[in-house]
Structures are given as C-alpha cells and as structure tokens.
Structure 1
C-alpha cells in the first residue's frame, strides 16, 4: 500500500520546556489501522498533533503523501482537509450552538456553497448515526453523542486520514465498543485510521500495526502480536501483555504447539484449543449465518423474518444497522466483534443473523471464508432474502466478494 504519512527523525521541544519527541521515524500506509500505544506522558498526543500541522517539529520532517508538510496558512488549510484530528475531549472541539452548525463549520470554512455544506453535514451525521440531531444543542448530548458530533465535524471535510487521541476516553464499555465499531466501519470505507491509547486490550485486536512509544521514542513498531509480545518492552512501557496473547504464550511455555499466527480474538483462541484437543470435542452440525443488508431490506420483512425463527441470535455491525434494530425493537445479542461471535455460535450448531450496511456485507463473507479455509470447518453464509435456498458453503456470491476490500 502507498505510504500516506511519514516521519523522518522528528524531534519536538516545548518552548522553555522538555523535549517531548526525541528522534522518531516511521511510515503509515494508506488504509491501515495504526495504534500508538504508551503510558501517559510518553509523547503520543504531541506526535499526533504533528500529523496535521498543529505542531511543527523542532527538527526533522513530517511528510504527507510523500511531500514534506509546509506550515504556511494555505498549505495547512489543505492538509487539515485531508488529515482530520479528533480531540480526546469533545467539549474542546465542539464550538457551535447546534449540532448542524458545528458539523458545518469545517466545510463552510473551506468555501463550499450552501448546498454542498448541507450535503456534507447530512452524510457525516448519517455516518456517525446522528441523523435528526441537526437542531440539538451539543450541551444536551451524552458523552458518546458528543464524541460522534466531533467525528462528524471532521468527516464533513472528507479527509483521507482520521486521527483520534484516546478515542474511548470517558466512555463506558458499551460506548467504547460502539465507537471502535464506527472506526472499523470508517476504515472499511477507505479511511486511514490512527489512534493513541494506553489500553492494550483495545489496541491488540483492532490495529493492523502497533507503535509502542516511551519517553518520546519508539520502543517497537510491528504487527500487534509481535509488538505486544516483547515482555521487556511491555514492562519498560508500564503496559501489560494482552490477555489472549499471554494465554497463548503460557500454553507455549507448557509445551503445547502454538500456531505462527497468534490469537487476536476468542474465536482464534477456541481454534487453538480445539487443535490441542485433537478432535476429542464432538461438535454438532454447524449453524448458518444469515446476513441482512439494512440499506435494502424492507422494514416489514425484517421483523417478520426474525419472528419466524425463535432462538435466532441477532447481531448488528455499524451504526445504521444498530439503529434499524432499535427501530424494529429487535434484541441484539452481539454488537461488537459480531462476525467472530456468530462463527462461534455456528460452531455450536446455532443460527444467527447479522444486520449490516451495504458496504460491509462482503466483509462477513470474506471473514467466514478465511476462517473456514484455515480451520477446515464448514459454515454457511446466506443472504436473509435467500435463506430458504441452498446456501453456498462458507461464502456468499462472487459479486459480493469482488466488491469487498477488507484490510
């Protein structure tokens, strides 16, 4: 993939203060999910602010799209259109008296005409699940809703890169899961997503690459199981090994053969355990995973279809899918990690339904296909509208797979 952001030996010293960044070099590729991980005070936020020119390195160079960042007003204006920055505290980012005015601020400042601004705001609010919130005063919103308003304000300018400083700060576990699901959805739609966090359990299953930072320097940069698997670096950074990775390491220490690809989810761990048991578990015939595209399926058919299948577990991927479930008063059993949880359910011989949007439909098929290819299991994925027809084992139709582009 093409490099979109690059740092070349960047350093930064605060005026009359400490040196916060001490010679950092890295590159980030278009379409990646990157987690900057380190303890408080490691320099994560300072580094993030260099990505869209909020801070200028004391020395070294930041590049965007293979071009050194320029710090004149015109150049920064263009850069910040392409690199959107979401602050940790949404109250510091939301400045207007209504949601519409706040989300419209960016595109209006870029000189868009009124109709284009309206379209940009409508699309951004739809992406974050806040349709109908246009006239709401931001101070009346919940913390999670405020976070989504601040994200919408960035999305309205249609950036290539989204940068989040501690995105789940101040959110409860359910709100955190919803937000990370939104980041996955935005990444799947083509955005490069970069987050800073000290939460290894959050970063480990989510990121394509993790960059461990301590005292203004990079300790390690690699895929998460390698980056978080170095116990010396983890201790130095005052972090902990992710639970699944620690369990895998302990099984290895006890002499159990471990796969090269370390577990990133409960599903991965179950697959390892089943292999260790050498088939001593007797699994029933697998269940079926049905998929509903909420952008296409009629309202009446969805609720009626679910009612005819007692015991069916329903999961929702994406904000619009969760809204649709709420509108139809469907009880959601899965709201995060939906595909893997439905695969686990299928392995127990039980059926499930995944509600998702058109752009995410193919992701279900690709993930199940990859699992079946690796594990040798057979799981059927079918469209809800064709669930009564003979399914295609582990796959959906060829057109869906060709239209999908997972990261």
Structure 2
C-alpha cells in the first residue's frame, strides 16, 4: 500500500492560544483503518479538521497522494470531494427539511443532473441502511439514524477517505457495534477510514494502525499491538490497556498461560486458554458456518433455508442484512462480533448462518481461514447456495 495522506511537521495554534499541535508527523496508507487515540484535549479533533483543509497548519505540510494541500477555494473543493468528514454531532451536519435533500446537497453543488442526483442519493442511503427514509425529517431520526444519514451525505460525494470524529459517541452499545460494522463494510469496498476516539477497546479491536496523540504531539504510530502492549505509552497518554489485554497480561504474569501473541478478541483469548487446559476435549465434529450474501439471495430463499435448518444459530452483519432480519422476523442469536461468535459456536459443535452484504463475504472467509491457520482447528465455511447439499454436522 502507498501513502495516501501525510502530515509533515504540523504545527497549529488557535487565535490567542498556545499551540494545539506541535511537530506532528505521520503517514496513512491507502485502504487502511486508522484510529487517532488520545484523551480529551489531546488534539485529535484539530488533526481531523486538517485532513480536508478545514484548518490550515501554521507550519508544516499536509499531503494527499504526494501533493501538498493548497488552501484556495478551487483546491479545497477538490480535496473535499476525496476526503469526507463526518462530525461528532450529526445535528451540525444535517440541516435540510428531509433526508433526501440533505444527502442531495453535495451532488447538487457538484452540478449533477436530477437523475444523477437521484441515483446517487438512492445508492448512498442503501449503503448505510436507510433506504425508504428519503422523506423523513432528520430531526425525527434516532441518534444512530442521524449518524448514518450524515455518512450518506458524505458518501454521496464519492470520497476516497472517510474521516470520523468520535463516531460512536452518544450511541448505545448495539448502535455503536452497528456503526463500526458499517465502517468495516465501507473499508472492504476500498475506502480509507480514519476515526478519532478515546475508546481503547474499540481502537484495539478495529484499527490496523493506531496513532497515539497527547498534548498536541504524536507519541507513537504503529499497530494496535505495538501501542497497547506498551504500558509506558498507555500511562503517558492517560489511557488504559484494553480489557482483553489486561486479562491476558495477568494470566501470563501468573504463568497460567505462555506468551502466545497478544489476543485481540475473546475468541483468541479462549483459544489460548484451551491450549493449556488439562480438561479433556470433547470428541465431536466442529459445526459449520454458512454465509448468506443478502445482496444476491432472495428473501424467500433465506426464509426457506432458515425453516429447513432450525438448529443453526443466526447472526447478521451490516445494516442491510439486519434490516432484512427485522423485516422478515428472522430472529438473531448474535448481531455484533458475528464472525467470532460463529467460530466459537462451531468449536462446540454448533452450526451458524451468517447474513452479510456482498462486500463482507470475502472478509468472513478470510477471518475464519486465518483463525484456523493460527489455531490448528478446522471449520468448514459454506456459501448458502451449496449449504442444502452439504452434510449435516456430525454425519
């Protein structure tokens, strides 16, 4: 991957204030999932506002695709097509009488025809799971729906990069999990995703690059493992270690398990514990994981499959899949952390059906394949179209 965005010795001070950013340098690869992590007041929001030129550094350069940002109107208009910013408070971004008009605002200003605007708005709302919301007033939406509407408005500009300021703030745990799944889906479609957060659990599990910020400087930029397994870095940033790492570190210190690599999830921690368990393993075949691409499978086919396979646990990833489950009264056993939960069920001999959009299907196969390679377990993953002829678990 090549560098898409670069910050080169960035300094910035608000009027009559001391510097908010001082000597900030880092780079971001195309297609990355990046978390700017730090306590409140660390300078994260100031950094975000520089990604598409809302703020101009007092010293240093911001580069996009190797070219320094220019701060004239024409250049800024071009960079803001490519780098979309979604604010923490969605109410500051939603201002039109209806959702349709809000999402159409950017394309309208780009000079698109009415037919082009209609197609773009329809596509953007479908991407965030808000099809059918076109006539809804934004103030009548829930917090999660407002966030999705704001994202749709940004997607309508067809950016390469999406930048989010505290994306899960004000959302309940289920809403936050839904939103992060949406960001994963957008990333799987090739978009670079950058978020600011002080939620170490979220950053450790989700990001593939963490930029640790405190007091206006970048303390460290690296993988989540590099950042969150260094107690000195965490302490100096007034943060704490993710819970799964705390448990793992304590187990290692008590010599209850060996150093097997820092677990990123409950699934990986359970696998480490199983490897040293003195309890005999139950001799049974693992369950299977069936993947249903909801973008290519008819609703009636899904319902028939569910009826014919009542013993399968069911999970859904992404807004479209979850909306289908709700609309068709398909009960779900898990709606977040779906892949790991499917793997955990398979390890105890239970099979699962995962409903997912087309863009996330390869991700499911890769995730299970990676787990099997690292753990030595074997779990069969089946596309739904082949599942009816597959042997039942244990046969």
TM interval, short-chain normalised: over 0.9
What TM-score results when the alignment is normalised by the length of structure 2?
Answer: 0.96
1:296 is displaced (CA, Å) by 1.8
1:362 is displaced (CA, Å) by 1.7
Deviations 1:60-86 (A, max 9, x none): 000011100000000000000000000
What residue is the counterpart of 1:201 in the other structure? 201
Gapped runs of 5+ residues in structure 2? none
* Higher mean C-alpha deviation, range 43-52 or range 319-328: 319-328
Q: Is the 8 A contact 1:244 1:264 kept in 2?
A: yes
* Higher mean C-alpha deviation, range 162-171 or range 231-240: 231-240
1:377 is displaced (CA, Å) by 0.9
What is the alpha-carbon distance in structure 2 between the residues aligned to residue 279 and residue 288 of structure 1? Answer: 24
What residue is the counterpart of 2:291 in the other structure? 291
What residue is the counterpart of 1:63 in the other structure? 63
Matched ranges for 1:135-284 at <5 A: 135-255=135-255, 256-260=257-261, 262-277=262-277, 280-282=280-282, 284=284
Q: Is the 8 A contact 1:284 1:347 kept in 2?
A: no
What TM-score results when the alignment is normalised by the length of structure 1?
Answer: 0.94
What is the alpha-carbon distance in structure 2 between the residues aligned to residue 300 and residue 14 of structure 1? Answer: 58
Deviations 1:174-195 (A, max 9, x none): 1101101100100011110000
What is the alpha-carbon distance in structure 2 between the residues aligned to residue 95 and residue 65 of structure 1? Answer: 32
What is the alpha-carbon distance in structure 2 between the residues aligned to residue 153 and residue 310 of structure 1? Answer: 40
Deviations 1:136-175 (A, max 9, x none): 1111111111111100000000100000000011111111
What residue is the counterpart of 1:401 in the other structure? none
Q: SS in structure 2 opposite 1:257?
A: coil
Q: SS in structure 2 opposite 1:50?
A: coil
Q: Is the 8 A contact 1:20 1:215 kept in 2?
A: yes
What is the alpha-carbon distance in structure 2 between the residues aligned to residue 181 and residue 364 of structure 1? Answer: 12
Q: Is the 8 A contact 1:251 1:258 kept in 2?
A: no
* Higher mean C-alpha deviation, range 279-288 or range 174-183: 279-288
1:284 is displaced (CA, Å) by 2.5
What is the alpha-carbon distance in structure 2 between the residues aligned to residue 278 and residue 192 of structure 1? Answer: 44
* Higher mean C-alpha deviation, range 85-94 or range 221-230: 221-230
What residue is the counterpart of 1:88 in the other structure? 88
| CA 66–287 in structure 1, closer or farther in 2 if over 3 Å, else same | same
Q: Is the 8 A contact 1:8 1:24 kept in 2?
A: yes
Q: Is the 8 A contact 1:290 1:383 kept in 2?
A: yes
Deviations 1:306-347 (A, max 9, x none): 122223211111111111111210111121111111010000
What is the alpha-carbon distance in structure 2 between the residues aligned to residue 373 and residue 311 of structure 1? Answer: 27
Q: Is the 8 A contact 1:106 1:157 kept in 2?
A: yes
Q: SS in structure 2 opposite 1:184?
A: helix
What residue is the counterpart of 2:17 in the other structure? 17
1:119 is displaced (CA, Å) by 1.1
What residue is the counterpart of 2:300 in the other structure? 300
Q: Is the 8 A contact 1:258 1:272 kept in 2?
A: no
Q: Is the 8 A contact 1:14 1:20 kept in 2?
A: yes
RMSD (Å), alpha carbons: 1.4
Q: Is the 8 A contact 1:283 1:347 kept in 2?
A: no
What residue is the counterpart of 2:128 in the other structure? 128
What is the alpha-carbon distance in structure 2 between the residues aligned to residue 152 and residue 37 of structure 1? Answer: 25
What is the alpha-carbon distance in structure 2 between the residues aligned to residue 283 and residue 151 of structure 1? Answer: 48
Deviations 1:12-61 (A, max 9, x none): 01011121001100000000000001110000000000000000001000
What residue is the counterpart of 1:43 in the other structure? 43
Aligned length: 391
Q: SS in structure 1 opposite 2:331?
A: coil
What residue is the counterpart of 1:374 in the other structure? 374
What is the alpha-carbon distance in structure 2 between the residues aligned to residue 131 and residue 296 of structure 1? Answer: 17
Deviations 1:279-305 (A, max 9, x none): 743353100111111112222221122
What residue is the counterpart of 1:332 in the other structure? 332
